[in-house]
Structure 1
Amino acid sequence: MLAAYLLSVLYLALTSALASPAALPDSRSTPAIPPAGFARRNGATIYVDNTPYYFAGAQQYWLTSRATTDDVWRKTFDRYKELGVRVARVFVYGIDATAGPSPAVYHNWNGAKLSVNYGENGLGRIDKMLAMAKQYNMKLILVLADNWGAQSGSANTYVRNVIGAAGNYHSDFFTNAAVIKVYEQYIAAVVARYKASPEVFAWELMNEQQGDITSIDGRRARPGFTAAMMTKWIADRSKYIKSLDPWHLVSIGDSGYYNWPGNTRHTYDGKVQMDFDANLRIPTVDIGTFHLYEWFQPTKEWGLECIKAHVDNMKKIGKPVFCEEFGAAGGNNQTAIYPTWVKTMLDGGLAGIMPWQVSGVGIYKSASQKTFDDLDIYPEKTVVWSTLKNMAAVLNARK
């Protein structure tokens, strides 16, 4: 009888455990091994097919909005290849008209309603980018929205179109339920189209999001908007993407601003409602990003301090971090600053390094124009070009 009783107790315990939600696998969690060729994260290291994957990156802001011939696309990828680029950053939204009218239309707005353009001048351009990335053995970060300006994929355009005249605050993009719903519709369309592609390196929530800005139409953060509210938006949107696609990495795309009480310096004072420490700890965020420009603070020395702060976060929190944009205006400044910044990033073990930006051949206002602004990099800037090629050789060989 005792044995029968013990067996019945053991049976009830086992069946209870199996029925308990806590004992069941979480269907929302990311499986350990994604399909072949996909990037994945294990701790602070990114892997592709069980091999550590460090990368030199690049971006050409105007490529997905202004390039009109395959020759332009190929020349840009040829430059990427010459630099040793493994990951290119791509903006999946319409760019403003600073460089002239854009032939690309990713969003069609009809009042508050957004429809996605799947044609050749819309997501067809991203199809082309991914096909070219495959040919060149590269991967792409797909950026889903922009913090700045009034182009079709910017925060202010969502706010203005969805809320209308009442949308007087930039930060409503991050808190208004109707705006968030429309943005998630766009996310769902893009993710559904490309979630099976190993050429997608990561989904990126937004370019340089922050609450308080002075934009071209003057919207700022709504009074009471906080860094914690921004962290919630990042957590909710990254969780939403993971629910659609558990395989690909998710990055934030921010400038890496901190929220350190009592610190009055730009990047650390929290005035734009960003908190790099808190945001990197979000479970559904895989990668931390930061952007680095010499005019933010006294040039080279400030940049070295900022790099080291983000390296410390990477090591402390245990997630990959990469410098997603960095720039100095003018060839002389780049020559003086880039070698030291790059060496510090390499020594710190960042997952990737990505300068702003590779000059586009045949993309700008005239065919003879070599550069859009002084930040552009191209082979004739010999010291800078050589520095970045050497950087790529080190990163791409790193195990």
Structure 2
Amino acid sequence: MAALLLALGGCGKSSAPATAPEEKPADVVQVAEAVNEFVTVDGRTFSRQGKTYYVVGTNMWFGGYLGSEGAVGDRERLIRELDLLQRTGINNLRVLAASEQSELMRAVRPAIVTAPGEYSEELWAGLDFLLDEMAKRDMTAVLYFNNFWQWSGGMSQYVSWFEGTPVFDPDVTNEWNAFMQNSAKFYRMEEAQTLYRDIIKRVVTRKNTINGKLYNEDPTIMSWQLANEPRPGSDEDGRINFPAFKEWVHETSKYIRELAPKQLISTGNEGSMGTIRDMALFIESHQSEYVDYLTFHMWLKNWGWFDATKPEETYESALQQAKKYINEHVDVANQMNKPIVLEEFGAERDGGSFEVSATTVYRDRFYEEFFDLIHSHSASGDALAGSNFWAWGGFGRTQNADFMWQEGDDFVGDPPQEPQGLNAVFDTDASTLDVIKKHADKMSQLVK
């Protein structure tokens, strides 16, 4: 429990009238105020500071990197980014808290975990700076510890370390089912879980070097998230891994709860599409009492719903499939009586262009439709408690002809294994920013 800072005595002379109303002891008031600073779960909704809390967020996985004082950092840019996000109405950022040094072709460099048991204090200090600046703007953070995919090292790098084998690189082999099955070995590897828990403990109990706050006492951190898009494995063979996956979700969430009882816990899972396309397995793997709320993601291009080079032919069908996917997950969350957040969704620029100058007519249409549906569900009391679009590019730019990230380049939201500009929202995307701001304003009117 946080230390009580209210003094029981005071300077100067004062006297209360004999008929003064009964007041709660100062320590009780202080504790109540401190608890209310944290985002909590109230049935199907979030609550903060005694009011309903809706997530109007984005993914800014590189936030801690940008906050670093090292070569990859740019604190001046980070402050500009946060100021623009605040003006746009964003109140939540989803951020990477751990990455693994890897020979993977498309992994981000440098990494936070440089080798098993060795960590970059410089990059974690960048996360300190980010959280401190977010607190000044009354933003909250979702911090995730791992990655099912290759772009930050992730689970396959753990497997490589403890199997003593070369890391499985799907960008070289193009064997995605085999890659997913390889990543899923992570759940069953005792040495990997020991290292993973050491990282969790180091982050959760870390003392912020900027403001002195312990991370597990900082209400800026809304949620600890197990990983980015953890899956049981491939759609073809993942069922054999499901029992281990389910146990991992429960046991890891329980471990985090012991370290951070005041903060929420989520998985970072994509929903049914990330659980072997089986809603029943999604529900089963999220029934743990230590998983406070649900998450799901939605990818129009990756799932073959929308083709930006054939927008008129594919827009309407993609929109209907997207709405169906959203509604199905809201129905499940209602039944489970847990809030749910659409914490990843994105759309390409017109024509599939990666150029910052390209228009965003269809992206804006998708965003408007999704935001209207989110608002409608929230306003009606459903469990849909907000969203984080993917991803924030802000003032970042790529100079590469092939648009692929190279070490030393700006971070623009799209991870290193994807073209830079694929889904990023830049500071110059005025029409998209206007759509987001209008949604933020509408969601703020629901707060009560």
Q: Distance in 2 between matches of 1:143 and 1:274?
A: 24
RMSD: 3.1
- Quote the residue 1:197 is aligned against: 218
Q: What SS is found at the alignment partner of 1:210? A: coil
Whether the aligned pair in 2 keeps the contact of 1:88 and 1:141 (CA below 8 Å) is: yes
- After TM superposition, give the deviation of residue 134 of structure 1 in Å: 1.1
What is the CA deviation profile of residues 157-182 of structure 1, one whole-angstrom value per residue up to 9, with x for unaligned ones?
Answer: 11111222399722111111121111
- Quote the residue 2:437 is aligned against: 389
Identity %: 20
Whether the aligned pair in 2 keeps the contact of 1:55 and 1:396 (CA below 8 Å) is: no
What is the CA deviation profile of residues 346-371 of structure 1, one whole-angstrom value per residue up to 9, with x for unaligned ones?
Answer: 21122111111121314655899988
- Quote the residue 2:11 is aligned against: none
Q: What SS is found at the alignment partner of 1:290? A: strand
Whether the aligned pair in 1 keeps the contact of 2:64 and 2:129 (CA below 8 Å) is: no
1:127-142 paired onto structure 2 within 5 Å:
127-142=128-143
Compared CA separation, residues 49 and 302, structure 1 to 2 (3 A): same
Q: Distance in 2 between matches of 1:75 and 1:137?
A: 16
Worse-superposed segment, 163-172 or 187-196: 163-172
Out of 242, 245, 248, which is 2:257 matched to?
A: 242
Whether the aligned pair in 2 keeps the contact of 1:280 and 1:319 (CA below 8 Å) is: no
- After TM superposition, give the deviation of residue 224 of structure 1 in Å: 6.2
Q: Distance in 2 between matches of 1:148 and 1:268?
A: 12
Compared CA separation, residues 98 and 334, structure 1 to 2 (3 A): farther
Where structure 1 has 5 or more consecutive residues not aligned to the other structure, the ranges are 1-30, 215-219, 258-266
- Quote the residue 1:344 is aligned against: 373
- Quote the residue 2:17 is aligned against: none
Out of 276, 299, 305, which is 2:282 matched to?
A: 276
Q: Distance in 2 between matches of 1:143 and 1:365?
A: 29
Whether the aligned pair in 2 keeps the contact of 1:141 and 1:204 (CA below 8 Å) is: yes
1:311-330 paired onto structure 2 within 5 Å:
311-330=330-349
Structure 2 letter corresponding to 1:135: K
- After TM superposition, give the deviation of residue 280 of structure 1 in Å: 3.0
Whether the aligned pair in 2 keeps the contact of 1:107 and 1:114 (CA below 8 Å) is: yes
Structure 2 letter corresponding to 1:149: Q
Compared CA separation, residues 101 and 57, structure 1 to 2 (3 A): closer
What is the CA deviation profile of residues 81-109 of structure 1, one whole-angstrom value per residue up to 9, with x for unaligned ones?
Answer: 1220111111112388989973x431121
- Quote the residue 1:37 is aligned against: 37
Worse-superposed segment, 46-55 or 89-98: 89-98
Worse-superposed segment, 236-245 or 354-363: 354-363
**Following TM superposition, where does structure 1 have runs of at least 4 consecutive aligned residues deviating by more than 4 angstroms?**
31-34, 95-101, 271-274, 363-371
1:290-305 paired onto structure 2 within 5 Å:
290-295=296-301, 296-298=303-305, 299-305=318-324
Whether the aligned pair in 2 keeps the contact of 1:170 and 1:213 (CA below 8 Å) is: no
- Quote the residue 1:286 is aligned against: 292
Q: Does the alignment pair 1:178 with 2:195? A: no
Q: Distance in 1 between matches of 2:35 and 2:431?
A: 40
TM-score by length of 1: 0.78
Where structure 2 has 5 or more consecutive residues not aligned to the other structure, the ranges are 1-30, 67-71, 169-181, 207-214, 306-317, 350-359, 379-383, 401-408, 414-419
- After TM superposition, give the deviation of residue 391 of structure 1 in Å: 1.1
Q: What SS is found at the alignment partner of 2:291? A: coil
- Quote the residue 2:23 is aligned against: none
1:51-90 paired onto structure 2 within 5 Å:
51-65=51-65, 67-90=72-95
Compared CA separation, residues 201 and 363, structure 1 to 2 (3 A): farther
Whether the aligned pair in 2 keeps the contact of 1:91 and 1:143 (CA below 8 Å) is: yes
